[in-house]
């Protein structure tokens, strides 16, 4: 039984017990997302942090999103602590309008995986692994066969879905692609009876302003901790 309350206080742990449960890998009271899909991990309340060690290979990173920063578990080195801005949407704004130049948004699939990985590597919207595109039906915009922008869903805690993987090729920025795709993903989440949420770095003023225009508001400030297995 998934514990409710403030579900978004521990979104990774909640997702691994619900929407990600079929892709969760567990050792003792530690759990992570299958590495093909991403690096996210969490500990059950009161768990021994040492349980995380068998879930990572040497040199591999684990990402934890928690209410407070955590010290490195045994056998890991801290790469980064950072406080995220978490935004949730209870009243989605009106559509920002059609995509420019008549470009259609379409569902991306396995045939687009290589371009999706390349776009994520170029723009760094967050961790994007070989199978991340299978976490949801990502939407993308392409022109002449080249992927220009994409967005999808990642974490799936109870009653919620995270807008994620939002990125635009540098040569296509300023055309409103990210805003339109983010709105489409959020609208899809709302239509499914769930609450959209997302994470951004607080100093990313442009992204924060974009999401606020779409109807998102602050819901928390969780800590992202990145550890590398020694």
Residues 43-65 have pLDDT tens digits of: 999 999 999 999 999 999 999 99
Q: Residue 13 CA to chain centroid, in angstroms? A: 13
Domains and CATH numbers, the chain: 7-85+225-229 (3.40.630.30), 86-220 (3.40.630.30)
SS3 (DSSP) at 188: helix
How far, in Å, CA of 19 to CA of 73, rounded? 26
Q: What is the dihedral of CA 161, 138, 166, 58, to 10 degrees?
A: 80
Rounded CA separation 190/187 (Å): 5
Q: Which of 230, 164, 114 is nearest to 11 (CA)?
A: 164
Element (H, E) at 114: helix 113-123
Q: Per DSSP, what are the bridge partners of residue 76? A: 229
Each of the 230 residues of the chain gets a pLDDT tens digit; together they read 333 348 999 999 999 999 999 999 999 999 999 999 999 999 999 999 999 999 999 999 999 999 999 889 999 999 999 999 999 999 999 998 887 777 899 999 999 999 999 999 999 999 999 999 999 999 999 998 999 999 999 999 999 999 999 999 999 999 999 999 999 999 999 999 999 999 999 999 999 999 999 999 999 999 999 999 99
Q: Is 169 within 8 Å of 147 (Cβ atoms)?
A: yes
Q: DSSP state, 102?
A: G
Q: Locate the DSSP E strands across 97-207.
A: 105-107, 139-143, 146-153, 160-168, 195-200
């Amino acid at each position: 039984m998934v514990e409710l309350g403030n579900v978004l206080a521990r979104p990774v742990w909640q997702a691994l017990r619900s929407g990600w449960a079929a892709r969760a890998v567990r050792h003792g009271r530690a759990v992570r997302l299958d590495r093909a899909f991403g690096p996210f991990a969490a500990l059950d309340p009161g768990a021994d942090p040492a349980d995380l060690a068998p879930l990572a290979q040497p040199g591999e990173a684990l990402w934890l999103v928690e209410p407070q920063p955590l010290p490195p578990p045994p056998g890991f080195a801290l790469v980064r602590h950072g406080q995220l801005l978490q935004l949730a949407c209870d009243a989605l704004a009106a559509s920002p309008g059609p995509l420019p130049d008549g470009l259609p948004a379409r569902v991306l699939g396995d045939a687009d995986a290589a371009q999706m990985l390349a776009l994520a590597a170029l723009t760094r919207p967050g961790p994007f692994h070989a199978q991340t595109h299978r976490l949801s039906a990502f939407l993308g915009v392409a022109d002449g066969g080249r992927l220009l922008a994409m967005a999808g869903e990642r974490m799936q805690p109870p009653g919620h879905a995270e807008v994620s993987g939002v990125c635009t090729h540098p040569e296509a920025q300023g055309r409103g692609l990210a805003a339109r795709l983010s709105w489409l993903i959020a609208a899809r989440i709302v239509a499914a009876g769930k609450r959209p949420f997302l994470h951004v770095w607080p100093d990313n003023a442009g992204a924060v302003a974009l999401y606020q225009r779409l109807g998102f508001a602050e819901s928390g400030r969780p800590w992202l901790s990145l550890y590398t297995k020694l």
